[in-house]
Structure 1
C-alpha cells in the first residue's frame, strides 16, 4: 500500500499550488520545436523556445547526427573515464575551447550538470561563494552541494559585491572565495557587469565563474558574454549549455588546461555518468562550426528580437530592461499571468507564463524568445494577438 503520509503531503501541496496559480501544466509538442509548433493538433507561433538560432531543426546538424549514428552508434557505451571517451568527444572539446578562447574545455550531459559538477569540484566547506541574487537554480544547487558558505549579493549591485568581497576576504575565514554570476539573466534578459566584476575579483583575489547559458550563441559574435567584453583571459570558469543557441543538448566548462584536468578527475557527473551520445556530439560540433564561420544567424535573431520588443513596447506592455532578445512581458499577479498566457495560447501564440519560484512573487511574466527562425509575418501575427488579449484583459 502507498504511504498515507506521502499521499497527504502530495495532495495538500499540489492543491495549494493550484489555488495560488503556481501549478505548471506541461504541454506536449507534437513534432519539432521550431518557430511554429503543434500542440493538441493546433498550430501556434512559438515564443517559448530557447532554440535562439533555429539550430535544433537545422538540416546540416541533422545530417551529421545521422552519420554519427552510423559510424559510432547511438550511445557512448561507458563513462568518460573508462572507455566512453570517443574521438568525437575530443573533437567537440577542442572546438569549444577554440570557440571560447580558452586553453581547454570539458563537456557534460547538461548545463545543470556543469554547475553541479564544477563548483563542488573546486569549492568546499572551508570556502565562500559570492552569488548574484538572481543566479539560476543550477548555480544555487551547485553552491549548496559544495558546502561552501554562500554569500548572496544584490543583483548586479557592484557596491554590494565589493563590500561583501571585502568582508569575506578580511574575515580570514575562507581558503578560497569565488564570485559566480550568470552572463545573461534568463528571466529579465540583462547582462552581467563583467568588467566591474573582474576588477573586484582582482582587488580581492576572487575566483571568477560565469554561467553563460543564455549568452553563448547570442553575444560576442556567438562566443558569449565573456568574449563580448574581451575578458577570455580574465575569467577562470566559462560555463555554458549546448542546448539553447547551440540547439542540441549538453553543457561545458572552458578554462585553463589545469582546471579542465582537475574537473576530469574530480567532477562527479563526469566520473559517474555516461556522456553525450555520438549524434549529439557531432551535431554540436557542427553547430559551433557554423557560428564560427558566420554571424548570419545571430544577426537575424537580434533583428527579430528588436522588432518584437519595439512592437510590444508600442502596444504598452511592460517589457522590463532586457539587453538581449529575451523579451519578458511583466504582468505581476500570478493568476493573471497564467490566464494571460492561456488566452494567448487560445488565440494562436505559445508564450509560457513564468511565476514564482522561477521569478519573485508579484513579478509573474510571459517570457518571449524570438529566434533566427521566426519570420516578420510570424512576429506580426503574435503582436496582433498580444494586442487583442492585452486589451481584453485590461493589461494594456
Structure 2
C-alpha cells in the first residue's frame, strides 16, 4: 500500500508510517494520545445548550438540565474563612464605654492610658469643642443627606473652608467628609493615565489608593532619599529630551507625607521644593499627621521647614487626628480647589460633612490659632523626652523608628529578645492592657502597594501625657522584653 504526499516527489508505504510511529519520541506519542482523548471527551460531553423542542422557542433548559446544573453548582466563598483571620477580627472587638481621650475605659471595666490613637493635642473632650458641636447639632440636626453639589452645602462648611484657607495662607480650601478619601480623591483628580508620579516608598495607604486610582506610571524612591529621587528625575529628564513630543503632554508629580504615619519620620520638604523647581514637577504633600504637630504654631510641615505654602502645589490633610473630629480638606490656589469641586470623587459623591463635626473642627482650629503653638510645643517636648528615654533605657531591647519630636514612633523587638513577629507584638499589646496601657500594632493591608514595613508597635503621644505615664510605659516595655530575653 502506497501513501502519496501532495506537492512532493516522494511516496510512503504504510509500513513506513508504522515504523515512523514506533520511532517517534515517547513524550510526543503521549501528548497526541491525550489530545485524542480530550477531543473524544468533548464530543461525548453533555451539552447544556438550550434545547430545540418542537414548537418551542429553544431558549430554556429542560427541568432535568436545570436540576443537574443546580446540583453541581458550588458557590465560591466570599472570604477565605481562615481561622487566624477570624481570631484577628475578634481581637478588634474592643468596646470603649468612655471618650477615647488620654485614657479610655473599656467594657471589661479597665481604664487604660492611651498610647494608641492620634489625639495629639488632647482635644477629645475639650469643653469648647463639645459645646460648639452641641449647639450646631441643635440648630442643623445630625447630617446633611446630600453631597456638596446637591443641597449638602451649609454655611458652616463655607466658614470652615474660609478658615482653613486663612490658617494656611492659601487662596481657597475644599472640605471633604472623610479623611481617607481626601488624598485618595485628590491625586487621581489631577494625575491621569500616561502621567508620572514619583512617590515615597513608605507613603500611607490612602496615598497608595490615590496612586492606583490615577492609573499613572508610579516611580517609587527610597524613603526620604532625595539623592535617589534626583537620580530618578534625571533619568526621566533624559527620556524627555529623547522624546520631547511625549514630554510636552506628560505631567509629573512628587507625592510625600509631611509626617509619615508608617514610620514617624519627617519629610525633607526644603530639598523637595528645590527638586520641584529644578525638574519642573508638581509637589503634593499629605499632612494628616503633621497638622497641629509640626511648626511653631501647628501649621504643619511648611512652617516647620520654613517653606512657603505657595511652593507646594497641593496640601491635603485629614482632620481626624490633632483636631479630633472627622473629615479632610485640600488647600491651594483657586484653580486647584475649583478643580477638586468638579472632579474629586470623594467630594462630589459623598454626603457632606455633618454640620456638627464641621463646627467642632472650626472650634478646634480656632483654638490651635489662639494657642499660638503652646500645645504643639508641649507635644514636641513630650515626644522628644519619650524618644530620648527609649534610646537610653531600652536601646538593647527595642529599636525605635521615628524623628525625636514626632508624636508617632514605631517600636520593634531586638533579635536578642526574640523574633519581632506580629504574634509576639500582639502578645505585648495584650500584656500592656493588663498593665493599664493601651498599645496597638501597626496594621497594613495585604494589597499595600508600597514598601512593606516590618511589624511594629505604633506609639502615639498626647501632649498631656505625664512623666509618670511615660515612666509606666517604659517600665512595661523593659520588663516585657527582658522576660522574653530570658526564655
State the TM-score bracket (shorter-chain normalisation). over 0.9
Moved more, 342-351 or 371-380: 371-380
* Corresponding residue of 1:123: 191
Q: How many residues align?
A: 392
Match of 1:304 among 382, 405, 429: 382
Does residue 77 of structure 2 align to residue 6 of structure 1? yes
User: For residues 385 and 221 of structure 2, what CA distance do their matches in structure 1 show?
Assistant: 34
Match of 2:430 among 342, 352, 373: 342
Does residue 325 of structure 2 align to residue 251 of structure 1? no
Q: 1:37 to 1:314 in 2, by over 3 A?
A: same
What is the 5 A alignment of 1:142-161? Answer: 142-161=210-229
Does residue 119 of structure 2 align to residue 51 of structure 1? yes
* Corresponding residue of 2:19: none
User: For residues 356 and 443 of structure 2, what CA distance do their matches in structure 1 show?
Assistant: 35
Q: 1:212 to 1:3 in 2, by over 3 A?
A: farther
Query: Is the radius of gyration larger for structure 1 or structure 2?
Result: 2
- In the alignment, is the contact (CA less than 8 A) between 1:333 and 1:362 conserved in 2? no
- In the alignment, is the contact (CA less than 8 A) between 2:201 and 2:451 conserved in 1? no
Deviations 1:350-375 (A, max 9, x none): 11112555796672211111102323
Name the structure, 1 or 2, with higher relative contact order (CA <8 Å, separation 6+). 1
Cα distance, 1:169 vs structure 2: 3.6
User: For residues 459 and 486 of structure 2, what CA distance do their matches in structure 1 show?
Assistant: 17
Other structure's SS at 1:6 match: coil
Q: 1:46 to 1:77 in 2, by over 3 A?
A: same
User: For residues 74 and 389 of structure 2, what CA distance do their matches in structure 1 show?
Assistant: 53
* Corresponding residue of 2:303: 227
Q: 1:285 to 1:152 in 2, by over 3 A?
A: same
Deviations 1:8-44 (A, max 9, x none): x421xx346589x999634222221111111222111
Moved more, 334-343 or 182-191: 334-343
User: For residues 424 and 443 of structure 2, what CA distance do their matches in structure 1 show?
Assistant: 10
Deviations 1:55-94 (A, max 9, x none): 1221110000001111222112321112211111011011
* Corresponding residue of 1:236: 313
User: For residues 367 and 133 of structure 1, what CA distance do their matches in structure 2 show?
Assistant: 19
User: For residues 391 and 199 of structure 1, what CA distance do their matches in structure 2 show?
Assistant: 46
Does residue 486 of structure 2 align to residue 390 of structure 1? no
What is the 5 A alignment of 1:23-38? Answer: 25-38=92-105
Does residue 262 of structure 2 align to residue 187 of structure 1? yes
Cα distance, 1:394 vs structure 2: 2.2
Match of 2:251 among 163, 171, 176: 176
Moved more, 269-278 or 328-337: 328-337
- In the alignment, is the contact (CA less than 8 A) between 2:133 and 2:357 conserved in 1? yes
Does residue 401 of structure 2 align to residue 320 of structure 1? yes
* Corresponding residue of 1:284: 361
* Corresponding residue of 2:61: none
User: For residues 258 and 387 of structure 2, what CA distance do their matches in structure 1 show?
Assistant: 21
- In the alignment, is the contact (CA less than 8 A) between 1:54 and 1:371 conserved in 2? yes
Cα distance, 1:284 vs structure 2: 0.3
Match of 2:156 among 85, 88, 98: 88
* Corresponding residue of 1:353: 441
Cα distance, 1:346 vs structure 2: 1.9
Moved more, 191-200 or 356-365: 356-365
* Corresponding residue of 2:6: none
Q: 1:54 to 1:263 in 2, by over 3 A?
A: same
Deviations 1:315-341 (A, max 9, x none): 213212424121222223222222222
Does residue 412 of structure 2 align to residue 330 of structure 1? yes
- In the alignment, is the contact (CA less than 8 A) between 1:355 and 1:363 conserved in 2? no
Deviations 1:258-308 (A, max 9, x none): 110111111112111111011100110111111111122112222222232
Give TM-score scaled by structure 1 length.
0.92
Cα distance, 1:228 vs structure 2: 1.5
- In the alignment, is the contact (CA less than 8 A) between 2:269 and 2:302 conserved in 1? yes
- In the alignment, is the contact (CA less than 8 A) between 1:55 and 1:246 conserved in 2? yes
What is the 5 A alignment of 1:96-135? Answer: 96-135=164-203
Segments of structure 2 that go 5 or more residues without pairing to the other structure are: 1-69, 241-245, 414-419
Match of 2:291 among 208, 212, 216: 216
What is the root-mean-square deviation of aligned Cα atoms in Å?
2.4
User: For residues 18 and 117 of structure 1, what CA distance do their matches in structure 2 show?
Assistant: 31
Q: 1:4 to 1:190 in 2, by over 3 A?
A: same
Match of 1:167 among 235, 243, 249: 235
Moved more, 38-47 or 383-392: 383-392
